[in-house]
Amino acid sequence: MNRQRHPHSAKSIFLAVLIVTMSLSAGIVEINRAPWLETEDVAAFGAGCPSITYSGSPFTFNQDVAISSITPSNSGDSATWSISPSLPSGLSIDSSTGVISGTPTVTASSASYVITATNSCGSDTATISVTVNAQAPSGLSYATENMTL
């Protein structure tokens, strides 16, 4: 079938007549287009903005003990993740998933960290608190001594 195209550029017409309704909270994009625009003229428009949370904060870890990975919840589309300030040495955030993992190699007083998830729609932040305590001593033994009183 040979469809007839509108004489104006598809991009300019697309911008002029496309009605886009976005419901960011639901991550829904509804597109109503002029019937003469072909499907290939209607590109994906907009991404679901990130909406992130980290459950379990404040987090307390022990130095030199691997942590259980901390996985965020994101109700938006995929995002690039970053954190500020940097996590204590040995811990890291995966820039594509937001998962925090590793083995802390230094002690650290309680501090707040702001995590940002960003995509083409926008960004969202979450704040977590992390403390790294010194490893408790292990393998201690005490010599027994008999005393006469």
Asked if 85 and 14 sit in the same domain, the reply is no
∠ CA(87), CA(65), CA(125), 5° rounding? 30
What residues contact residue 32 under an 8 Å CB cut-off, 6+ apart?
18, 19, 21
Give a three-class secondary structure readout of the chain: CCCCCCCCCHHHHHHHHCEEEEECCCCEEEEECCCCCCHHHCCCCCCCCCCEECCCCCEEEECCCCCCCECCEECCCCCEEEEECCCCCCEEECCCCCCEEECCCCCEEEEEEEEEEEECCEEEEEEEEEEEECCCCCCCCCCCCCCCC
- Does residue 69 form part of some domain? yes
pLDDT for res 37: 47
pLDDT at 139: 79
138 lies in some domain: no
pLDDT of residue 93: 98
Strands 91-93 and 100-102: antiparallel
Distance CA 79, CA 97 (A): 7
Q: Does 81 fall in a domain?
A: yes
Domain match, 89 and 26 both: no
Residues 16 and 60 in one domain: no
Same-domain pairing of 32 and 63 = no
Mean pLDDT by 10 residues, the chain (149 residues): 39 41 43 49 58 96 97 94 98 98 97 96 96 87 76
**Omega before 50 within 30 of 0, i.e. cis:** no
What is the pLDDT, as a whole number, of residue 145? 78
Is the residue at 67 inside a domain?
Answer: yes
Task: Indicate whether 2 and 41 sit together in one domain.
Answer: yes
**Domains contained in the chain, number:** 2
Angle at 71 between CA 66 and CA 76, to 5 degrees: 160
Tell me what pLDDT residue 47 has: 53
**Residue 43: what pLDDT?**
37
pTM: 0.64
In a domain, residue 61? The reply is: yes
User: 35 lies in which domain range?
Assistant: 1-46
Give the model's pLDDT for residue 98: 97
Residue 144 lies in a domain: no
